[in-house]
Amino acid sequence: MSLISSTSPHTTGKTDTGAFMRQVLYATLPGLAVLTWQFGWGSVINVLWAVLVALLSEAAILKARGRPLGFYLKDYSAVVTAVLLGLALPPTAPWWLTLIGVSFAIIVAKQLYGGLGMNPFNPAMVGYVLLLISFPAAMTRWIAPGQTPEPAQSWQLFLGQAGVDGFSGATPLDTFRTWAGNASELSGHAILHGQFAGLGWEWVNLAFLLGGLYLLARRIITWQIPAAFLLGVAVPALIASLVDPVRFAGPLFHLFSGGTMLGAFFIATDPVTAATSRLGRFIYALLIGVLIWVIRSFGGYPDAVAFSVLLLNLCAPFIDYYTQPRTYGHRKANRGVGS
């Protein structure tokens, strides 16, 4: 066996960006399947439409910038952004909602910063927050348990030709936040009483957990961010629920309701916008989890994954600066005032 004489980094096998991104797409399939089972075909329609919009948006900007289309489109980064945003949107979302969110994510949050690797914020979450702030009613209309529409009805909802109110209902997180502190009301809402979390949503989160474990097994992501993310959500939820179980939901409810597992394994782990050092990744994700619990418990939004991720994207360079490992053979630099 010959020695490698060239300088680092040294890689073997097919480890290009496109290969990693395809693994992420494969890992989302269990979550998409369970979303379809629980809430109808709206999520599949959203994802397919989002992918088409993302590819067209990316191609248009690349052409305007004079960049080769094939080279950049084959990295699948636009497809991953589209799929993650499509999964996060309600299955009742009309076509124009997806169009606005995905095109903004690709054009503004990604390409106007210089493309993949240059964007400081997670593009999918930027698109999601834009839609949530601009169209809160459309973004909070999820399918109610037991009212799953037929495929034809899902298509009509996508085209805006069917009434949403006949299918939509509050999510478990929204229901708990609305009636927190009222034991009689909480006990009367069936959506809060699944096997161990919100009805329907527990299986969606288990599916994304399965996909996340696949990514860990394939070493596409590392354990620090998902573990710290879930720890940051679960620990304050456990403490608060022990103090006042009527006012605060328990850790299992928070872990398996809303977008917790999608956020922990697929969104916060974005290698471009997350912290990079081992300690930095743990601190970064832990703070995301704590912020999610704080906003869910005291804020105006029932779920808070997107807001928390974007806030910590802003802090990631700062976290990395103070947690980068010491170079072997050198003393740690003094970063105090006046150094």
Average pLDDT for 171-186: 75
Assess if residue 35 is contained within a domain: yes
Sign of CA dihedral 245, 246, 248, 250: positive
Q: What is the pLDDT of residue 285?
A: 97
Assess if residue 1 is contained within a domain: no
With 90 as the cut, is the pLDDT of residue 9 above it? no
Q: What is the pLDDT of residue 198?
A: 80
Average pLDDT for 302-328: 88
With 80 as the cut, is the pLDDT of residue 168 above it? no
With 90 as the cut, is the pLDDT of residue 179 above it? no
A 10 A CB-CB count for 117 gives 11
pLDDT, one tens digit per residue, over 22-51 is 999 999 999 999 999 999 899 999 999 999
Distance from the first to the final alpha carbon of the chain: 48
Q: What is the pLDDT of residue 55?
A: 96
Q: Do residues 199 and 174 lie in contact, with contact meaning Cβ atoms separated by under 8 Å?
A: no
Q: What is the pLDDT of residue 104?
A: 97
Q: What is the pLDDT of residue 1?
A: 47
Q: What is the pLDDT of residue 300?
A: 81
d(CA 118, CA 107): 13
With 90 as the cut, is the pLDDT of residue 70 above it? no
pLDDT, one tens digit per residue, over 239-249 is 999 999 888 88
Q: What is the pLDDT of residue 299?
A: 86
With 70 as the cut, is the pLDDT of residue 228 above it? yes
Q: Kindly indicate the confidence band of residue 2, based on its pLDDT and cuts at 50, 70 and 90.
A: low
Q: What is the pLDDT of residue 312?
A: 95
Q: What is the pLDDT of residue 337?
A: 46
Q: What is the pLDDT of residue 12?
A: 53
A 10 A CB-CB count for 151 gives 13
Average pLDDT for 50-79: 91
Choose the weakest-confidence range: 29-38, 68-77, 125-134, 142-151.
Answer: 142-151
Assess if residue 43 is contained within a domain: yes
The token pair that represents 287 in the structure block: 């703070």
**Domain boundaries, position 34:** 15-169
d(CA 291, CA 153): 37
Please, what's the b/e burial string for 198-217 (b: 16 or more CB within 10 A of its CB; e: otherwise)? Answer: bbbbbbbbbbbbbbbebbbe
Which pTM was predicted? Answer: 0.88
Top-confidence residue, 94 or 195: 94
With 50 as the cut, is the pLDDT of residue 276 above it? yes
Q: What is the mean pLDDT of the chain?
A: 87
Assess if residue 30 is contained within a domain: yes
Assess if residue 80 is contained within a domain: yes
Choose the weakest-confidence range: 4-13, 38-47, 299-308.
Answer: 4-13
**Highest averaged pLDDT of the listed ranges 61-70, 137-146, 174-183, 253-262:** 253-262
* Count of domains for the chain: 1
Q: Kindly indicate the confidence band of residue 281, based on its pLDDT and cuts at 50, 70 and 90.
A: very high
Assess if residue 258 is contained within a domain: no
Q: What is the pLDDT of residue 339?
A: 44
d(CA 100, CA 229): 29
With 70 as the cut, is the pLDDT of residue 117 above it? yes
Assess if residue 207 is contained within a domain: no
Q: Which is nearest to 41 in space by CA: 153, 175, 184, 176?
A: 153
Assess if residue 98 is contained within a domain: yes
